[in-house]
Structure 1
Amino acid sequence: MHARAVAASTAALLGTAALLFPSPARAGDHGASPLVIAHRGASAYAPENTLAAVDKAAELGIAWVENDVQRTRDGELVVVHDDSLRRTTDAEEVFPDRAPWKVKDFTAAEIARLDAGSWFGPAYAGARVPTLRQFVDRVEHHHQKLLLEIKNPQLYPGIERQTLKLLSNEGWLDAPHLADRLVVQSFSPDSVRTVHELRPGVKTGFLGTPGVADLAAYAAFADQINPSHGSLSLGYVSAVHAFRGPHGRPLEVCTWTVDDAATAQRVAGYGVDGIITNKPDVVRDAVGG
């Protein structure tokens, strides 16, 4: 009852705010299509989270890319998904005595030696794990937009502040970027809340599917609720959209990870605002995003 009451009062009391903060077009509104977001870059076609994957997304004409940030032993922010380097690099061969090859146990220089492309295919042999600075510079080079996930924040105390500082230094916290080119997300609500408290102008997303009764609390610090596609329904997307986030706009829904046309069309029918995918061309062709 509390969540429904909050939603009703929000709709009733924020009519003026709706004029001041117009919401973005939704998939279900006036024929608009959801955003298509390249998961770890165009990771079906190039090794995930590498500069090559960003380049491939740009080649495909995809405006939004998603990536993951973690931290090395000596404090460098690097772009890699797993907390271990084993799956996507040759760390096991280069450093055979360093199991379980955790990102946090290696220096930036050591990680820079690793091959992050050969596992995917010989054409990408020698690709490197990029630093976050290198990654955002490549995204900027292509005039793309960034959905940045803070990965495993419990392993890296203070990573939110450090990430925001780097983004600021690289020009990503100016008005144009904050307006429509950057979202910072995490599976950790505490991490998302910290980002919001440190830099309230930054658009944020929570990865997961909170209960409807909890959405009012998340709306205090998150602009997006980003669930897995298998957890979605039309009713849930509508419930999320009924709340307004910290910037006065209706909460958005970006769902993951959708790689086939049928699923893309299904979630687009629910009215999601974005679809995160390893195959952005397939999803774009399916939903017109």
Structure 2
Amino acid sequence: MYARAAAVTTTALVTVALLAPVSHALPGPADDGPTVVAHRGASAYAPENTLAAVDKAAELGIRWVENDVRRTKDGELVVLHDESLARTTDVEEVFPDRAPWKVKDFTAAEIARLDAGSWFDARYAGARVPTLKQYVHRVERHHQGLLLELKSPELYPGIERDTLKVLSNEGWLDRRHVDGRLIVQSFSADSVRTVHALKPAVKTGFLGTPATSELPGYAGFADQINPSHGSLTPAYVSAVRSLTGPHGRPMEVFVWTVDDAETARRVAGYGVAGIISNKPDVVRDAVRTGVPAGR
């Protein structure tokens, strides 16, 4: 009887192990220096915010990517930084009479016709503006983390709810992703606050440099304060880190946009949790092999 019970127990344990989700939680700053995030993908080496830029980041061994989300005329979420399509696509050639070529004035099908790669390099001719759904699928394929920026949310009322719906539909709001692979950020405090209210489990970041006296107010809905590196000081990082965020952990700083080794080592020395870069390989190598300045 004992042997049979032991066998049943062993079988049950093996079954549980096989059914348990595989964790792709990514290393944080405590593991090997600051988390390095590929800005709009590895955008120094491939056209920004395209799937090719995600692939390039993965090729370089970068485990986090940042992207920007906007909404089309017919309600599709697409990954693009600018309000206008003109800089990074051939929209002026395809739709010459549609100036100023704003994303919100085009349908998803129209945007899907555009070449989003040739402006960067002929090798990327035919690259498309991805939908958010397509983008998260590619990030998932590489087991990367996603730092997702809601771009100009005042232009797209309700984009917070729309974004969370896409993330939920694509499996990005389960515990495995929320615990270690997803951060939603914005320059709009109201937008960050809305995301936190709609989905409190999601880690959030505010882009900017609020006055130190204002930081306690942000701690109620933002896990991170994410400023430009030019505005950063060791004292400011310390002030952020001294506060407890909405998930009961010290607030963090992810700094942008750092593309050289000297600056990377300097801000790493300040104690930032993450560094966002167009050249993430340069930053990664600097913070892993160099002695951080400012310590």
Q: Deviations over 1:152-207 (max 9, x none)?
A: 10000000001001100000000010110000000000000000000000000000
Q: Deviations over 1:101-124 (max 9, x none)?
A: 000000000000000000000000
**Root-mean-square deviation (CA), in Å?**
1.2
Instruction: Give the number of the structure with larger relative contact order, counting CA–CA contacts within 8 Å between residues 6 or more apart.
Output: 1
Who is 1:66 aligned against? 66
Residue in 2 aligned with 1:272? Answer: 272
Q: Which amino acid aligns with 2:114?
A: L
Give, as a single letter, the amino acid of the residue that structure 2 aligns with 1:149: E
Q: Distance in 2 between matches of 1:195 and 1:84?
A: 25
1:128 alignment partner AA: R
- Rounded Cα–Cα distance in structure 2 between residues aligned with 1:106 and 1:169: 24
Aligned partner of 2:147 in structure 1 is 147
Structure 1 gaps, min length 5: 1-23
Preserved CA contact (<8 Å) 1:40 1:48: yes
Q: Secondary structure at the match of 1:36?
A: strand
Deviation at 1:288, TM superposition (A): 1.4
Task: In structure 2, give the amino acid aligned to 1:66.
Answer: E
Judging changes above 3 Å, is the alpha-carbon distance between structure 1 residues 25 and 67 closer, same or farther for their aligned structure 2 residues? closer
Question: Helix, strand or coil for the counterpart of 1:171?
Answer: coil
Q: In structure 1, the residue corresponding to 2:164 is in which secondary structure?
A: helix
- Aligned match of 1:253: 253
Q: Whole-Å Cα distance in 2 between the matches of residues 93 and 203 of structure 1?
A: 40
**1:68-126, CA deviations, whole angstroms, 9 ceiling, x for partnerless residues?**
00000000000000000000000011111000000000000000000000000000000
Q: Tell me what 1:239 maps to.
A: 239
Alpha-carbon distance in 1 for matches of 2:199, 2:173: 9
Q: Percent identity?
A: 77
Give the TM-score, by structure 2 length: 0.88
Aligned to 2:204: 204
For residue 140 of structure 1, what is the amino acid of its counterpart?
Answer: E
Residue 100 (structure 2) aligns with: 100
* Pair 1:133-2:133 in alignment: yes
Question: Are the aligned partners of 2:237 and 2:253 in contact in 1 as well (CA < 8 Å)?
Answer: yes
Note if contact 2:148-2:182 (Cα within 8 Å) is conserved in structure 1: yes
The CA distance in 1 between the partners of 2:29 and 2:78, in whole Å, is 33
- Which residue pairs with 2:281 in the alignment? 281
Structure-1 separation of matches of 2:134 and 2:167:
11
Unaligned runs of 5+ in 2: 1-26, 290-295
Question: 1:26, CA displacement in angstroms?
Answer: 4.7
Letter in 2 for 1:243: L
Pairing 1:48-67 to 2, within 5 Å after superposition: 48-67=48-67
TM-score for the superposition, normalised by structure 1: 0.89
* 8 Å Cα contact 2:28/2:35 also seen in 1: no
- Whole-angstrom distance in 2 between the partners of 1:77 and 1:178: 20
Counterpart for residue 170 of structure 1: 170
Residues 145 and 182, structure 1, Cα contact 8 Å, conserved in 2: yes
Q: Hey, what does 1:79 align to over in structure 2? A: 79
Aligned to 1:3: none
Please tell me the residue identity of whatever aligns with 1:49: N
The alpha carbon displacement at 1:32 in A equals 4.4
CA separation of 1:140 and 1:26: change in aligned 2, threshold 3 A: closer
Secondary structure at the aligned position of 2:56 is classed as: helix
Give the corresponding residue for 2:14.
none
Match for residue 10 of structure 1? none
Partner of 2:230: 230
| Closer, same or farther: CA 25–95 of 1 in aligned 2, 3 Å | closer
Mapped partners of 2:216, 2:133: distance in 1: 34
Q: Which has the larger radius of gyration?
A: 2
Aligned residue type for 2:103: V
Which residue does 1:8 correspond to in 2?
none
